[in-house]
A and B are shown apart, each in its own frame.
Chain A
Amino acid sequence: MSPSPDLAQPIGGDAGASCAERANWIRRRSIQMVYEAKLGHPGGDLSSADILATLYFGAMRYDPSNPALPSRDRFVMSKGHCTGAFYSALAAAGYFPLEELSTYMQPLSRLNGHPNRKYLPGIETNTGPLGHGFPVAVGMAIAGSFEPDPFHVYVLVGDGELQEGSNWEAAMTAGHRRLSNLTLIVDRNHLQQGAATEDTVSLEPLADKWRAFGWTVEECDGHDIDGLVRVLAPGPHESGRPLCVIAETVKGKGVSFMEGQASWHHGVPDKEQYEQALRELGE
């Protein structure tokens, strides 16, 4: 299936596009990828799109033509199932051709269901099993702290993912070591795959948990680009501590029938739903 005409010439290639425009493009492209692959995690793709757009186009320092540049800021997609949005952001950032997005999950594609650093440039570590990305990000931040001008490390976790205990091991280490070049972002969409986090195993009081582990906390609207740009500026953080950004988001953001619905965690739209989704994301 060929991409829709307006998606074939995406805004991702336009250096003048705003973060908001890029976020919307990531949403449209993610939905198209999930629709074509008949697989994926659209709910989380949509909740994380503004965060990803802000990181890649409003915060991080990197050079897609030199993905191994030692001084680059690092991003770890710990919620590795949301590859629709992640791959779209990487392609828009210039790590690989935009056309390759249409191979999502096809046989032998570099765009595996979960990201593999051996397959594609721009992927720092393999994720997919939850609770893996954050400890790796802590190791990166420690490596960065050895440098005279530390690079910054960002890690995006799902809120449900925080039920994995490995995260709290990493939180303790980062707090203890006062890793001020580390920013963890919680995509706080309040839903895990089957139900609300608070009805499954509650996370609240979430901000207090992070403070208790020695972190500073910023709570923000995860769909407000200006606010995200402000809290996601590369460090070092003045607090001398790692920063947790609790980004309040809506799962399925931007598509009316997906918003706030756990069923769209890994739901796949039919043709009618797909067309409606693109119409709603048209602006």
Chain B
Amino acid sequence: MSGASETFDCRVAFAEALEELAEADPRVVAVVNDSVGSSKLGGFKKQFPDRLINVGIAEQNMVGVGAGLANGGRIPFVSGAACFLTARAMEQIKADLAYAGANVKLCGMSSGIAYGELGATHHSIEDVAWLRVMGDITILVPSDPWETREAVRAAAANEGPYFVRVSRLKVPNLPRPDGAEFRVGRAEELRAGEDMAILANGIMVHRALDAAEMLAREGVSARVVNMSSMSPIDEEAVLAAAETGAIVTAEEGSVRGGLGGAVAEIVATRSSCKLEILGFPGFLPTGSVEFLLGRHGLTAEGIADAARKVAG
């Protein structure tokens, strides 16, 4: 177990996993919108120059090209900044991938608010909500380098359209038992607890674990569940969390339609659980990543505060 102080950029894990896959399977190709550097695909390009397809700064074309490559028997990983990949190419994602069931793997880099001060044009806090309503695209929001690798492998191994949300905000490797397995559609309980549950994904998971530690010192037993599989979502795990009576969700995304929204859809009709949704209310003002996370309670302290509110 590495020390919690050591942190990693998950884009590196994404790129390493993709290079391993490409080495093992000649069908694997990468498609980019001039985003070789920002997708950390310099190594891939060096190793597989013919299999790195740069379509230029043209996201609609990029997603369509991905669908065509899949039709031609390739396994395309279409990678670009999450904000442009999803927003600019949304109709291609809908018609060419989700509706058509194309075997294309979208990899949204630097998702959430990783671009901080660059502002809301470059933030991607809407992506999960936009994609989730379609239902026909698997959405994974990995929490650390290990899970990012596993998500990329799962995307390659399973037929159909995928969206893998890859943060560049550094996170520690999370503590997991030996032999831990990643499974699409399954939530991962990282800490047991009976008084309330924190459901988080992406870069919020390690903060959720820290919050649970703080709560434990106050005598509150908080469960922490990693909801990296956003679609399909593990309804059983959500309903089990609801049995504690209080849930806090935490995501680096909009409070509308993402993890909090998905959990609300499940618990509102099937339990009387209290729910607090942590996320961003909409377009954000200028500020660093840490400033913006802190402002909206997306820190260990903020999560613990929300937990005290619902579990109190």
Binding site for B on A (CB under 8 A): 70, 74, 116-118, 124-129, 131-132, 134-144, 146, 151, 153, 165-166, 169-170, 172-173, 176
Contacts and interface: CB of A to CB of B under 8 A. Distances in A.
16 contacts: A74-B71, A118-B101, A125-B68, A132-B95, A132-B96, A136-B64, A138-B68, A139-B64, A142-B69, A143-B69, A146-B50, A165-B60, A166-B61, A166-B64, A170-B64, A176-B56
Given A129-B91, A135-B92, A143 B74 contact: yes
Interface centre among B62, B63, B71 (most CB of A within 10 A): B71
Given A70-B73, A129-B91, A136-B96, 17 more contacts: A118-B101, A125-B67, A128-B95, A132-B92, A132-B96, A135-B62, A138-B61, A138-B65, A139-B64, A139-B72, A139-B76, A140-B71, A141-B68, A142-B69, A143-B68, A166-B60, A176-B56
Contacts, number: 107
A76 B270 CA distance: 46
Nearest to A176: B56
B53 interface: yes
A153 to B, nearest CB: 8
A135 B95 contact: no
B99 interface: yes
Interface in B37-57: 50, 53, 55-56
B56 A173 contact: yes
B66 to A, nearest CB: 6
B60 A136 contact: no
A218 B95 CA distance: 31
Given A139-B66, A142-B65, A169-B60, A126 B71 contact: no
B21 interface: no
B64 A143 contact: no
A170 B71 CA distance: 17
A76 to B, nearest CB: 8
Given A125-B102, A129-B95, A139 B68 contact: yes
B58 interface: yes
A136 B71 contact: yes
A135 B68 contact: yes
B73 A135 contact: no
Given A126-B96, A129-B91, A139-B66, A173 B61 contact: yes
Contacts of B268: none
Q: What is the predominant secondary structure among interface residues of chain B facing chain A? A: helix
Contacts of A165: 60
Given A169-B61, A172-B56, A143 B96 contact: no
Given A132-B92, A138-B61, A170-B64, A117 B69 contact: no
Contacts of B4: none
Nearest to B70: A139
Interface in B223-248: none
A169 B65 CA distance: 11
Contacts of A137: 68
Contacts of B58: 169, 172-173
A173 B65 contact: yes
A151 B91 CA distance: 28
Contacts of B133: none
Nearest to A147: B72
A183 B136 CA distance: 31
A70 B154 CA distance: 24
B72 A143 contact: yes
Nearest to A144: B72
Nearest to A127: B95
A139 B69 CA distance: 5
B100 A169 contact: no
A137 B69 CA distance: 9
A54 B100 CA distance: 27
B99 A169 contact: no
Contacts of A124: 71
Nearest to B51: A146
Contacts of A129: 91, 95
Contacts of A169: 55-56, 58, 60-61
Q: Which 6 A-B pairs have the closest CB atoms?
A: A139-B68, A143-B72, A135-B64, A169-B61, A139-B65, A169-B58
Contacts of A118: 100-101
A140 B104 CA distance: 13
Contact of A135 (B53, B61, B100, B102): B61
B28 to A, nearest CB: 12
Contacts of A135: 60-65, 67-68, 92, 96
B91 A142 contact: no
